[in-house]
Amino acid sequence: MSPGNTVLFVQRLVLFRLMWLSAVFAASLSHAVYDDGARYAFTASPEKQAIYIIDLHKRKQVDTIAVDSVPDMVSASENLKALIIASRKAKRLVLVDLSSEQLSQYNYPLTISPDYINVSPIGTVAIYDRQQQILEVHAVKRRQVLLRAENVRSSEKFTFNLDGSTIYWVDQGAGTLHSIDLWSNAKSLQLTTAVESLTALSRSTDGLLGFISSRLDNTVYVVNLRDFSQLTAIKVGSGPSRPWGTADGRYMLVANRDDSTITAISTSSLQRLYTVPTVTKPIAINPGWLDSTAAILGENGAVAFIDVAKGTAGETYDLQSLPHEGVVTSDSRTLAVPVAGKGAISFFDMRKRSLTSEISGLPNDIGAATLAVSNNLCH
């Protein structure tokens, strides 16, 4: 190599190393991409105005997203590759692009206050203003209101059908189930005369059946969602909460708060299979490990396991503070439970039915976790 070529080669080598170092430095200042809907969970702290990103594979907090308004509710969408944050006082949604290294944020202004949001399977967003009794469904990518319904009375959550074209809710004061589709076709069904008793609807995995508990009737009503008719009423324990379905579609599990029991219902025969004792004042159920086991969360911080098919009890753990509803990974192996007042997230192995690890040092006001692709399918 000639002297001139040698100098040129050295110059290029130096330039290449400078470019490589610059790229490494820039990467260190940017975020990772968090659009893997089966891996990353998100929980919010209203006080800190921040979202905490949890890597469920590594079981640790990996990043924080600061937002300029209070994050009252957070939902992750696999379809949108985005995190959707509702802020009541600001009357807006904040969309975080999880596929961008900068985690770009976009404000989405509203004319109503988002007391509750729900993302459909196709990525549309239902927004409910409880005070104004207005329900809207938005195509946020197009910034278009697809549906606006007034005089909608609900204190419970809303549920989409499988293709996102219809949304269901209960009117507790009237004891009725309602639905409306994107073409404004509305239906209603009287289920009970007991006021302030109905829970939100949970649909079967095939989308054909709806299950609604009545806390005062101690009954689960089963509705045919194709023709909006009541099929049957199944007696369960005392003070039942919203049913939780297993991902295989075989069971609906009901936490009976007032007598501290769990009821299992067969979705094929629509018969009660068993009612068994569990933790005191159960508030949530998370099925997992190929739907063979379920974790029941109690108001006092206890977590108990049962064999779903047999109804037999397993180990019980004490989280020492009020837990939020957990999320189960899509492979059904891991349960993550945020613990209010403790600033922690506890991880459980659903196959072994055991507590494995915990993240601590999070704000004490963290809320429920959201995961775009999970084993919790019916809600």
pLDDT score of 378: 58
| DSSP conformation letters of 125-152 | EEEEETTTTEEEEEETTTTEEEEEE-S-
pLDDT score of 13: 46
* Residue type (1 letter), 308: V
d(C-alpha 353, C-alpha 332), whole Å: 12
d(C-alpha 74, C-alpha 78), whole Å: 13
Residue 11 banded pLDDT, cuts 50, 70, 90:
low
**Hey, is 257 helix, strand or coil?**
coil
pLDDT at 279 over 60: yes
Q: Which two tokens stand for residue 145?
A: 């209101």
DSSP H helical segments within 30-179, as ranges? none
- Phi, psi dihedrals of residue 11, rounded to the nearest 5°: -65, -45
pLDDT score of 239: 98
Q: Residue 187: is it exposed, middle or buried by C-beta count within 10 angstroms (0-12/13-18/19+)?
A: middle
Q: What is the mean pLDDT of the chain?
A: 92
Are both 126 and 250 inside the same structural domain? no
Residue where a domain terminates, one of 124, 152, 180: 152
Question: What is the DSSP secondary structure assignment for residue 29, as one 8-state letter?
Answer: H
Across 192-213, average pLDDT: 96
Are both 325 and 361 inside the same structural domain? yes
Are both 134 and 101 inside the same structural domain? yes
| Pairwise pLDDT comparison (31 vs 340), residue with the higher score | 340
pLDDT score of 376: 77
* Residue type (1 letter), 239: G
pLDDT score of 92: 98
Are both 76 and 21 inside the same structural domain? no
Containing 285, the helix (H) or strand (E) segment is strand 282-288
pLDDT score of 7: 46
pLDDT score of 377: 65
pLDDT at 350 over 90: yes
Q: Is residue 23 part of a domain?
A: yes
pLDDT at 12 over 80: no
Q: Is residue 207 part of a domain?
A: no
Across 127-138, average pLDDT: 98
pLDDT digits (tens, 9 = 90+) for 53-108: 999 999 999 999 999 999 999 999 999 999 999 999 999 999 999 999 999 999 99
Q: Residue 93: is it exposed, middle or buried by C-beta count within 10 angstroms (0-12/13-18/19+)?
A: buried
pLDDT digits (tens, 9 = 90+) for 227-277: 999 999 999 999 999 999 999 999 999 999 999 999 999 999 999 999 999
Rg (CA), the chain: 23
Question: What is the DSSP secondary structure assignment for residue 192, as one 8-state letter?
Answer: -
**Percent residues over pLDDT 90 in the chain:** 89
218: left (phi over 0), alpha (psi -120 to 50) or beta: left
Are both 250 and 347 inside the same structural domain? yes
Residue where a domain terminates, one of 108, 132, 152: 152
pLDDT score of 32: 79
pLDDT score of 215: 96
191: left (phi over 0), alpha (psi -120 to 50) or beta: alpha
147: left (phi over 0), alpha (psi -120 to 50) or beta: beta
pLDDT score of 4: 53
Q: Is residue 316 part of a domain?
A: yes
Q: Is residue 228 part of a domain?
A: no
Side by side, the strands of the sheet bearing 313-318 are 282-288, 293-298, 302-307, 313-318
Are both 246 and 337 inside the same structural domain? yes
**Is residue 23 within 8 Å of residue 340, measured between CB atoms?**
no
What residues contact residue 32 under an 8 Å CB cut-off, 6+ apart?
62, 63, 101
Angle value at C-alpha 220, between 133 and 307, nearest 5 degrees:
120
Q: Is residue 191 part of a domain?
A: no
Residue where a domain terminates, one of 152, 182, 206: 152
Q: Is residue 159 part of a domain?
A: no
Are both 359 and 245 inside the same structural domain? yes
Number of domains in the chain: 3
pLDDT score of 203: 96
pLDDT digits (tens, 9 = 90+) for 177-187: 999 999 999 99
Are both 258 and 122 inside the same structural domain? no
pLDDT score of 10: 43
**Percent residues over pLDDT 70 in the chain:** 91
pLDDT at 5 over 70: no
CATH at 125: 2.130.10.10
pLDDT score of 340: 86
**Is residue 166 within 8 Å of residue 177, measured between CB atoms?**
no
Are both 247 and 315 inside the same structural domain? yes
Are both 251 and 379 inside the same structural domain? yes
pLDDT digits (tens, 9 = 90+) for 207-232: 999 999 999 999 999 999 999 999 99
Are both 47 and 25 inside the same structural domain? no
- Give the structural domain span for 120: 32-152
Q: Is residue 192 part of a domain?
A: no
Q: Is residue 372 part of a domain?
A: yes
What residues contact residue 346 under an 8 Å CB cut-off, 6+ apart?
303, 319, 323, 336, 337, 339, 355, 357, 358
Are both 38 and 96 inside the same structural domain? yes
pLDDT digits (tens, 9 = 90+) for 116-130: 999 999 999 999 999
d(C-alpha 86, C-alpha 328), whole Å: 23
